[in-house]
Amino acid sequence: MIITKKKTIEDITASLEGKKSVYLFGCNSCAEQCKTGGAEELKSMTETLTDKGFKVTGSSLVDETCYTQLVKREFRKVDAVKKSDAVLVLSCGAGVKCVADEAEDIGDGTQTIVPALDSMFLSSVERVGRFFEGCSLCGECVLDKTAGICPHTDCPKGLLNGPCGGVDEGKCEVMLDNDCAWVRIYTRLKAQGRLELMEEIASPKDYSTTTRPRNVLLR
Amino acid sequence: MSKLRETLEAGKFAVTAEICPPRGTDVADFIEKARLLKDKLVAANVTDNQRAVMRLSSFAASVLLLKEGVEPVFQMTCRDRNRIAIQSDLIGASVLGIENVLALTGDHVSFGDHREAKPVFDLDAVQLTATIKTLNDGHNLKGKELRGATNFFIGAVVAPGTIPFEPEWIRFKKKISAGARFFQTQAVYDMDGFKRFFERAEGLDVKILAGILLLKSAKMAEYLNKNVPGVDVPQSLIDELTAAPDQLEKGIEIAARQVKALRGYCHGAHIMAISQEASVPKILELS
């Protein structure tokens, strides 16, 4: 799941400055679960913007705002979208991108598209409302060698060959509440009788797999 | 050949100390410290934006030391450069006459004065050590032959007081297989604990310089215990400092005592006298 957080209303109204009518997009997937862009948030954003003097022309709660076809359908179906001065998107950046592309494609390309959220990370979910970064999407998974604990994600320095000198009684010196990723990897590999994996020198990571923007075409 | 290498390989006790470059172009103090330490040390380490606080580069400051006739240990961290810049700077350092390099991971930017900066860590300290070895062997990281190899005496760091120690020990051995020939340690105060580490490392064919961090006051000792991982100043030393009429003098005496104890068995000492470099000659006289 993609974790998002709300921008401040001051930031949002600053981006909407000079616009009179605003249409809202929410996302019924990740942003709904993060409580940043579901039905409730669309309702409260409508009220807030109305209070601030904007005309909210309507809102769409798309199942997945990052899905171009679903966004396209809203642009075709709902006249108010195209007629508003601005569109405020309560989803991750991938959703904002889809809305902006369709605004150009189906609309006249003059609308201002404004993100209401900041996109944070790809998460593992401990329980409702408790999210931890689960994967850095680095393009070269090493979890087989690190007992399922990611050194790219769980070590603030992304070290590949063991802990830095900052381990303090097993704790990370950067994220003080966290156990050091490499001490955890060591403990798990030791318990599994696979410490030799940690003794091998890991080569520098291949960053050519992460040249942006990435894309996939299934055939 | 590097004097540091020569001294260590001859089995002589080597003393190094750390000098921190200034924040700005006024290098008068830095040069003064270099002159003060010139004949007292085998080599002087130049820190690389230590604690992630931006200063004059360790590369340029190392060259300044060379001009003063002081042999530098060029400290290089992985925090601020990618592998292209690292190799390029290493070749540059070699061309300008720098012979010792100390490979470190580097403190995270979140400790420093530019906390919004992007932390690089394209390589880690083990990979950086292996990179220096590769350049020494006449190749770049892609296996392409260099027109002229480097000839660095390769150093790395180890923290003998880390808890738990085994992961650190594994990384220490990896640094050795990657090409590190000498080690400077994190500050040690538990001299018995250090000796056990030293004895365990015997047979690994590397030279070890114990890190001696000058205690300027009891307050500093308490600060270190609270804030610096792997550093544990025993209460007896804190009491000794507290009872002293001049705590800095006492700190100098303690450091000298530690260096003296090391002379008996260790390969050398690395003195860190943060902003008190002027005290280093005295520590050495007393040791």
What's the confidence (pLDDT) of residue B217?
96
Give the C-alpha separation, B175 to B171, whole Å.
Answer: 6
What's the confidence (pLDDT) of residue B153?
98
What's the confidence (pLDDT) of residue A109?
83
Q: What would the pLDDT profile of A138-183 be if each residue is shown by its tens digit?
A: 999 999 999 999 999 999 999 999 999 999 899 999 999 999 999 9
What's the confidence (pLDDT) of residue A107?
83
Q: What would the pLDDT profile of B84-141 be if each residue is shown by its tens digit?
A: 999 999 999 999 999 999 999 999 999 999 999 999 999 999 999 999 999 999 999 9
- Residues A31, A34, A40, A43: what is their CA dihedral angle, to the nearest 10 degrees? -50
Distance of CA B202 to CAs A131, B195, B267, B286, Å?
Answer: 46, 11, 11, 28
What's the confidence (pLDDT) of residue B218?
96
Q: What is the CATH number of the domain that holds B229?
A: 3.20.20.220
Q: Would you call B124 an interface residue with chain A, using a CB distance cutoff of 8 Å?
A: yes
Residues from chain B contacting residue A158 (CB–CB below 8 Å): 121
State the smallest CA–CA distance between residue B195 and chain A in angstroms.
19
Q: What would the pLDDT profile of A35-50 be if each residue is shown by its tens digit?
A: 999 999 999 999 999 9
Q: Would you call B168 an interface residue with chain A, using a CB distance cutoff of 8 Å?
A: yes
Mean pLDDT confidence for B75-88:
98
Residue B275: pLDDT band (50, 70, 90) is confident
Q: What is the DSSP letter of B173?
A: H
Residue A110: pLDDT band (50, 70, 90) is confident
What's the confidence (pLDDT) of residue B173?
98
Q: Do the chains contact at B177 and A201, CB–CB below 8 Å?
A: yes
Q: Which of A156, A167, A182 sits opposite B229 (nearest CB)?
A: A167
Q: How many residues does chain A have?
A: 219
Q: Which of B111, B162, B173 sits opposite A167 (nearest CB)?
A: B162
What's the confidence (pLDDT) of residue B227?
87
Query: Strand ranges (DSSP E) for chain B?
Result: 14-19, 43-46, 72-77, 100-104, 153-158, 182-187, 207-213, 268-272
Give the C-alpha separation, B83 to A138, whole Å.
Answer: 18
Residues from chain B contacting residue A201 (CB–CB below 8 Å): 126-127, 130, 174, 177-178
Give the C-alpha separation, A171 to A169, whole Å.
Answer: 6
Q: Would you call B127 an interface residue with chain A, using a CB distance cutoff of 8 Å?
A: yes
Residue pair B98/B66 in contact by the 8 Å Cβ criterion: yes
Q: What would the pLDDT profile of A70-79 be if each residue is shown by its tens digit?
A: 999 999 999 9
Q: Determine the residue of chain B that is closest to A179 in CA distance.
A: B164
Give yes or no for residue B74 having a pLDDT over 90: yes
- Residues B110, B112, B117, B123: what is their CA dihedral angle, to the nearest 10 degrees? -80
Residues from chain A contacting residue B186 (CB–CB below 8 Å): 165
Q: What is the sign, positive or negative, of the torsion defined by CA atoms of B141, B142, B147, B149?
A: positive
What's the confidence (pLDDT) of residue B228?
87
Residue pair A145/A197 in contact by the 8 Å Cβ criterion: yes
State the smallest CA–CA distance between residue B168 and chain A in angstroms.
7
Mean pLDDT confidence for B50-67:
97
Give yes or no for residue B221 having a pLDDT over 90: yes
What's the number of domains chain B is made of? 1
Q: Do the chains contact at B126 and A186, CB–CB below 8 Å?
A: no
Q: Do the chains contact at B124 and A160, CB–CB below 8 Å?
A: yes
Mean pLDDT confidence for A130-145:
95
Q: What's at B99, amino acid-wise? A: E
- Which residue range(s) make up the domain with B28? 3-286
Roughly how many angstroms between the first and final C-alpha of chain B, as a whole number? 27
For residue A20 the two structure tokens come to 């009179």
Mean pLDDT confidence for B186-211:
96
Question: Across the A/B interface, how many CB contacts are shorter than 8 Å?
Answer: 96
Residues from chain B contacting residue A167 (CB–CB below 8 Å): 162-164, 167-168, 229-230
For residue B278 the two structure tokens come to 């002027």
Helix axes B166-178, A181-191, angle to 10 degrees: 100
Q: Do the chains contact at B171 and A163, CB–CB below 8 Å?
A: yes
Residue B28: pLDDT band (50, 70, 90) is very high
Residues from chain A contacting residue B173 (CB–CB below 8 Å): 199
Structural domains in chain A, sorted by start: 2-121 (3.40.50.2300), 138-204 (no CATH)
Mean pLDDT confidence for A126-130:
92
Alpha-helical (H) ranges within B55-124 are 58-67, 83-95
Residue pair B112/B51 in contact by the 8 Å Cβ criterion: yes
Mean pLDDT confidence for A27-42:
97
What's the confidence (pLDDT) of residue B229?
83
For residue A117, give the H/E element and its range: strand A117-127
Give the C-alpha separation, B115 to A174, whole Å.
Answer: 12
Mean pLDDT confidence for A44-66:
98
Residues from chain A contacting residue B132 (CB–CB below 8 Å): none
Q: How many CA atoms lie within 13 A of B276 on its CB side?
A: 19
